[in-house]
Amino acid sequence: MKHHVGQTGNGVAVYVNLIGSEASKQISQQPYLLGLITEALQQIKPRGQEVNVERDMGRNIGYSFVVRTSDTDSIFYAQILKDTTYTRFIKNGKPKSTSYLTLQLRLDSEDNEYELHNVYVGRLSPPRPGSTDETAESKTYWANHAFIVGNQTLQLRTVTKVCPY
């Protein structure tokens, strides 16, 4: 189900699939993101098939749940429900206030519009190791960062302290 969320600064329409996309999960949990997305899109001029944009909104817009870790942190790995990629978690982290919004856009060549693939409050980070989008920076970044464990539904049989990648 396509839902129009705005237009880029160079006039390209942007929509989100409200059923099953990563962006729809974030928007359903944080509906105020729709307004922030519309505002951010007006300020960018994306070009290309896949565009990752980190936008400083100039004010506090929420909390980032990805934090830098140290050797003293209690770290574990698990797969989130309906996910096959392991995620690195920290047990006792505190979310950090942030002014950054990250948008991941993919060009739909059929109608020449961008689909909002994902959106989240916080800085742009590489995909998790083991994911289909993994980059050269993924392992290095995620060796030093983790998600704060919270209300994620974890597949309990996958929980491990041993790094799976």
Q: Are 12 and 46 in contact (CB under 8 A)?
A: yes
Distance in angstroms (rounded) separating the CA atoms of residues 15 and 111: 11
Per-residue pLDDT reduced to its tens digit, 117-133: 999 999 999 999 999 98
Name the pTM for this structure: 0.90
Percent of the chain at pLDDT above 90? 88
Torsion of Cα atoms, 151 then 66 then 92 then 25, to 10°: 0
Letter for the amino acid at 127? P
pLDDT-based confidence at residue 161 (cuts at 50, 70, 90)? very high
Per-residue pLDDT reduced to its tens digit, 38-52: 999 999 999 999 999
pLDDT-based confidence at residue 109 (cuts at 50, 70, 90)? confident
Letter for the amino acid at 77? Y
Least confidently predicted of 84-88, 110-114, 157-161: 110-114
User: Which residues neighbour 54 within 8 Å (Cβ) at sequence distance 6 or greater?
Assistant: 100, 101, 102, 123, 124
pLDDT at 110 over 90: no
Distance in angstroms (rounded) separating the CA atoms of residues 124 and 12: 22
pLDDT of 151: 84
DSSP-derived 3-state class of residue 29? helix
Per-residue pLDDT reduced to its tens digit, 29-82: 999 999 999 999 999 999 999 999 999 999 999 999 999 999 999 999 999 998
Q: Can you tell me the mean pLDDT for 8-24?
A: 93
- Give the orientation angle of helix 22-29 with respect to helix 33-42, to 10 degrees: 120
pLDDT of 97: 97
Element housing 118 (H / E): strand 113-121
User: Which residues neighbour 154 within 8 Å (Cβ) at sequence distance 6 or greater?
Assistant: 78, 79, 80, 81
pLDDT at 17 over 90: yes
User: Which residues neighbour 110 within 8 Å (Cβ) at sequence distance 6 or greater?
Assistant: none
pLDDT of 32: 95
